[in-house]
Structure 1
Amino acid sequence: MNAEDARYDAGHIQVLEGWEAVRKRPGMYIGSTSERGLLHMVLEVTDRAVNEVLAGRAASVDVTLTSDGGVRVADDGPGIPIDEAGAAGGPGLEALLTRMQAGVVAEGRHDVTAGFCGVGPAVVNALSCRMTAEVRREGVRWAQEYARGVAATPLTRVGTATRSGTTLAFWPDADIFGAMEFSFDGLEERFRELAFLNHGLDISLTDLRHPGESRSVRLCFPGGARDFVDFLDDRSAASALVDTVAFEHEDPRMGGVMEVAFRWRNCPDERVESFANSRPTIGGTHAVGFRDGMAAAVTAYAREQGLLAATDPDFDAGRIGAGLTAVVSVKLDRPEFEGSTRGLLGNPEARDCVAQAVQDHLARWLKHHPEGAAAVIHQIVQGAGRD
């Protein structure tokens, strides 16, 4: 140990206060300071507006990439409460935008976290050189400006309002972000997922950054997971062997609801997308349960119809994927994710519940669609023969 090491004491410990910690280590809160981090910034601000729509308090969400490098998120809900405590005990406007985790929603089945960090709009404010808020509530229009996490102006009554709603806009701090280009395609992909997974969501995304080349998409899919499967297969050259099978089912044993849709195409490729509480997952108990249920239903039907010899082994979960496109979504009261990236669902009950529901629904479909069932099993058998 040298003399300098020996002199190490409390005076060498750096204490970061307020928003200094967020600005010093932004990657800990939004993942990165590159394009990925900017995408999370937009999603964290959009969270509240999306949940207003899903709760029935608003009809739509509008997200705009502005010509001056900012992002504007607007909804037509009742407007964020402007008082300190909030109308229902939640945070008021300034608390929501200046206090860490104020108003960040619980992650039960009825709440959607658009982003993957769940840190809330206050962190976005801290990482922005400027944020503006306009609240239209009870016939009054209020406005306030912020800079780097703190209020730059008092909350001010600026006029009357004929409609209600909230508009938040922010401009990322160039001192923090190396790249300042928001990905329209990345945002569109995530918003499309949310619209597929949440039937009542109507969200639009508009890009005004390039004069004369503006573009806009509106995302609303009443068909839910069924529409999602159609979208996933839309660019495929392979023809569908059967129509899409889709169902929703609530199971109190897992404390939640599932929505599943799938179909087979005339090709060997497999694509299964899984989600838990509207978060994309790389797998987990719900995805394993889906494969278990599929394999059990197909094996049982094939044996009943003599399409599988008595000496042939059961189709395992890996066999039924030839040509399969599927969306498996669960929404749980208490989701349990494994790992810091929260990409793997761990709720043990979800496996059995999803497996049983898939097996029951697929078994009924196979029974009532013998031609389609024969085509699917023939393709699976062919795929097994190639392995």
Structure 2
Amino acid sequence: MAKQEQTASEYGAKDLAVLEGLDAVRKRPGMYIGTTDSQGLMHCLWEIIDNAVDEALAGFCDAITVTLHSDGSISVADNGRGIPVDIEPKTGLSGVEVVLTKLHAGAKFGNASYNASGGLHGVGSSVVNALSSRLDVEVDRDGTTWRMEFRQGHPGVYKDADPNKPNPGSPFTKTRKNKATELRKVATVGKGVTGTRIRYWADPEIFNDTAQFDYDKLIDRVRQTSFLVPGLAITVIDEHIPESTTGENSEVVEDATHVENVVDQASQINDIEASDEAQATNSGNATEPAHKDELGTQQADQLAQQQNAQHAPFAHPRVQQFMHTGGVVDFVDFLSTGEPVCDIWHISGSDTYEEETQAVGADGDLHAQMVERTCDVDIALRWTNDYDTQIRSFVNVVETPGGGMHVDGFLNALTRQVRKTVEANARKLKVNLKDSATKIERDDVTTGLVAVVTVRIAEPQFQGQTKDVLGTAQVKPIVTKLTDDVFGQMITGAKRGFKEQSGRVLEKIVGEMHARIQARKTKEVTRRKNALESASMPAKLSDSMPGNDDIAELFIVEGDSALGTAKAARNSAFQALLPIRGKILNVQKASVSQMLANKECAAIIQVIGAGSGTTFDLEQARYNKIIMMTDADVDGAHIRILLLTLFYRYMRPLIEAGRVYAAVPPLHRIALAGSRKGEYIYTYSDDELQRKTQQLIQDGIAFSDDIQRYKGLGEMDADQLADTTMDPRSRMLRRIRMEDAEHAAQMFSLLMGDEVPPRKQFIIDNADDFDRSNIDA
């Protein structure tokens, strides 16, 4: 204790550490880039790219090139005005050195050069410089190329053995303190040529061993920037990939190639699964489905990997270029999945606000002053029939994943206008205003919404250095008012051409409200615990016994006739039965409210007990497996597709978790004769029947010529149905994957949707492949 007291008493000014220049950044990098892992590594690149994009926002740049060099360094080049090379009077340093060595220095702190910028805190380039083992900068201005080099943030000169192969390990002469800057002329360029090129090597002394560069994140960032700055061409070059192996890829070519590869792989994967199924049925004994499906999936994955290795030795092209001219409208179109409920709606405008800011006066000191700012707002939105919400927000092309004032203003106005319009059209939309529960909530409005919200303002205020949330309060009322005015006309149908679209949007939102209310009621009827709960379920449900939730199975059975046989064939300890009357509603064309009003759909959702859409909770599902058990004919296949579309649209997590199956009932029963009388062989297709009978003849096994063909599940007796379709020890199931459900939904949209021309073209394209024998008579 005495020693501690003595130490405390000796604590004085000599114990204080003063970090000069960029040393503070190297000492506490997390304060500036968040982390020193992969996220911080990518953040450094964003800072350099954002500075180039700022030139484009200011109207002085239309091309940016990002190069990933084979030595691990990264360079960013733009054709903007170039960093100033003249002397900054206060420091006596060149503009280049000021930008790259001084924190909180740059044109973005003034009011003239940048009205809106992405590099917002004036520390971006200097922080990257401090955290790089080496950084080289070249500037084209006034017919001259100027060059300067840095080592861990300190200016100096490198002596590379090969000037074309700069190396951070080359001999370096550090510029002495108070010596003139080492900015030097290295070449001449045309008088009108301007731009900046920065190349840096991330310092391994700063970034930890887990820090890895993420190419996909770079491409996503570059792509989104090309949407947000229309007309800006951004090229990404990966020098790790030899020039001879791949050519340039644009946005369109890249996507088209991807689609083609997916189609090819899907075709071969389907071939494998068909082969697996044939092998299983040729054996004459049905096998447990889950094993068959998992094996087929593994083989399919291996095939896909082989295809990639043969045809795509590199994960991406050497060169990719992105440029879009449609702005946020194109961005929303790119982000949209599912069938659109409306066209893309565009909201844009601007307004001004006053803000108190600190400005440097004539005496060189900071003084508070009121300035007038301009806020430009650009929003695009669209609703789809999906239930996911995608809202991407940006301030001066910098993404704000945490939202902020601009998003709050947008959503507040959106919700308010929808509520007003629903109340004004309550009778038409069948909304009971007297029921306090039937109130539109924000989640109802945002379900299926795809939106891009952007604002451009000078000197925005963020919550934190990483710029996740916009904090400039004056932006909120501007976005709110603009959305109120423009969107209000759209949703009420007052704006020309929006009446029909607004009707569909309102119907969808009201449907989501009813789905939410219904889901809440369903959750109130929790997992089966007593007879009272069972009584609240649909009367036609033949439930299983409680206590076996981890293995419980729900069979959705086609028709009442099959139900009677299934009741006798099931194991009531863990198998439940829910009959449906023929073909359920085509939910691909129906609204949410129409779906909920359909007795069959509502019963399925209620019995599963996990809700629907955005409120679906997989943990609340009352059954471990959902099995569609329909006849082995065309009508049965049609019913399965309708059910599949219902699960895909409203209970997708069930499919994602691999808990949806299709039963595989046989088509034929061969009765053996002679010494094997009383034995039966089941086949599952006409081709298999032919092969099996030929095999029996060759093997000299007698069988009855009276081969039974099942027209439906109801024609089987209980023992037959149990052995072939329901008993886990002998049945065969087919697990439904996301690709199956998505394909079914797409085909339904094509063949039964509202658009006639695509359906007509499909029929024309596939007419030559039509086989009358495939029609089940």
Question: Which position in structure 2 is the counterpart of 1:311?
Answer: 434
Q: Name the SS for the 1:67 alignment partner.
A: coil
Q: Does 1:159 align with 2:187?
A: yes
Matching of residue 35 in structure 1 with residue 154 in structure 2: no
Residue-by-residue CA offset, 1:230-283 (whole Å, 9 max, x unaligned) = 1211xx2x2111111012111225841211111111122222222233333313
Larger deviation, residues 69-78 vs 155-164 = 155-164
How far is 1:310 from its partner?
A: 4.4
Kindly provide the CA deviation profile for residues 19-69 of structure 1, in whole angstroms up to 9, marking residues without a partner as x. Answer: 332222222222222111111211222233222222222221111111111
Quick one: structure 1 residues 253 and 226, their matched pair in 2 at CA, closer, same or farther if it must change by over 3 Å?
same
Label 1:34 to 1:353 Cα distance change in 2 as closer, same or farther (>3 A): same
Partner of 2:108, secondary structure, is coil
Task: Indicate the residue corresponding to 1:386 in structure 2.
Answer: 515
Moved more, 97-106 or 70-79: 97-106
User: Size of the alignment, in residue pairs?
Assistant: 381
Q: 1:228 corresponds to which residue? A: 331
The aligned amino acid for 1:265 is T
Distance in 2, matches of 1:353 and 1:142, equals 43
- Corresponding letter in the other structure for 2:504: A
1:210 & 1:331 partners in 2: Cα distance? 37
Q: CA 1:19/1:252 → structure 2, altered by over 3 Å: closer, same or farther?
A: closer
Q: CA deviation at 1:314?
A: 4.7
Q: Does 1:123 align with 2:248?
A: no
The equivalent position to 2:409 in structure 1, one of 289, 295, 299, is 289
Give the AA of the match of 2:339: S
CA distance in 2, matches of 1:39, 1:117: 17
Secondary structure class of the residue paired with 1:319: helix
CA offsets 1:184-224 (integer angstroms, 9 cap, x no match): 22222223333322335332222223445453332332221
2:116–2:458 contact (8 Å) kept in structure 1:
no
CA distance in 2: counterparts of 1:205 and 1:104, whole angstroms: 27
1:264-279 to 2 correspondence within 5 Å?
264-279=383-398
**How do 1:89-104 and structure 2 match up within 5 A?**
92-103=95-106
Provide the residue aligned with 1:351 in structure 2: 476
* Local SS of the residue matching 1:105: helix
Contact 1:143 1:155 (C-alpha < 8 Å) held by counterparts: yes
Aligned AA (1:177)? F
Partner of 1:137: 141
Partner of 2:57: 54
Tell me the SS of whatever aligns to 1:337.
coil
Name the SS for the 1:229 alignment partner. Answer: helix
Alpha-carbon distance in structure 1 between the residues aligned to 2:125 and 2:507: 52
- CA 1:32–1:145 in structure 2 vs 1: closer, same or farther (change >3 Å)? same
RMSD between superposed Cα atoms in Å: 2.8
The one-letter code matched in structure 1 to 2:324 is: F
Contact 1:54 1:200 in 2 (8 A): no
Over the matched positions of the two proteins, sequence identity in percent amounts to 35
Higher percent of residues as strand: 1
CA distance in 1, matches of 2:514, 2:44: 49
1:186 matched to 2:186? The reply is no
Alpha-carbon spacing, 1:192–1:47, altered in 2? closer, same or farther (3 Å) = same
Q: Distance in 2 between matches of 1:83 and 1:329?
A: 35
2:321 match: secondary structure: strand
Give the corresponding residue for 2:3.
3
2:20 aligns to what? 17
Contact 1:61 1:73 (8 Å CA) reproduced: yes
User: How far apart in 1 are the matches of 2:22 and 2:93?
Assistant: 22
Partner of 1:216: 319
RCO comparison, higher one (Cα < 8 Å, 6+): 1
* Partner-residue secondary structure (3-state), 1:101: coil
- How far residue 118 of structure 1 moved from its aligned partner, in angstroms, is 4.9
Following the alignment from structure 1 to structure 2, what is the Cα–Cα distance between the partners of residues 90 and 189?
37
Structure 2 runs not aligned, ≥5 long: 158-181, 246-313, 355-373, 517-777
Give the aligned partner of residue 153 of structure 2: 149
SS at match of 2:490: helix
Q: 2:744 aligns to what?
A: none
Change (3 A) 1:265 1:146: same
Specify the code of the residue in structure 1 equivalent to 2:457. L
Change (3 A) 1:144 1:189: same
Find the residue that maps to 2:503 and give its secondary structure: helix
Q: TM-score, normalised by structure 1?
A: 0.88
Alpha-carbon deviation of 1:165? 2.0
C-alpha distance in structure 2 between counterparts of 1:3 and 1:90, whole Å: 49
Q: Which residue of 2 aligns with 1:111?
A: 116
1:58-116 CA distance string (max 9 Å, x none): 22111111111111111122332322229xx99612222222233262498833225x8
Counterpart Cα distance in 2 of 1:106 and 1:200: 27
Query: One-letter code of the match for 2:203?
Result: D
Q: Which moved more, 1:169-178 or 1:340-349?
A: 340-349
Instruction: Please point out which of 177, 181, 198 is paired with 2:229.
Output: 198
Which residue, 231, 241, 244 being the options, matches 2:341? 241
- Answering whether residue 453 of structure 2 is matched by residue 328 of structure 1, we say yes
Residues 130-150 of structure 1: CA deviation (Å, up to 9, x unaligned): 111222222222222221112
Structure 2 counterpart of 1:362, from 463, 487, 496: 487
The residue identity in structure 1 corresponding to 2:385 is N
Distance 1:284 1:42 in 2: 24
The letter for the 2-side match of 1:345 is L
Task: Indicate conservation of the 8 Å contact 1:91/1:103, yes or no.
Answer: no
The 5 A counterparts of 1:243-258 are 243-253=343-353, 255-258=374-377
Q: Is the CA contact 1:84–1:93 (under 8 Å) kept in the aligned structure 2?
A: no
Which stretch of structure 1 is more off in the superposition, 238-247 or 184-193?
A: 184-193
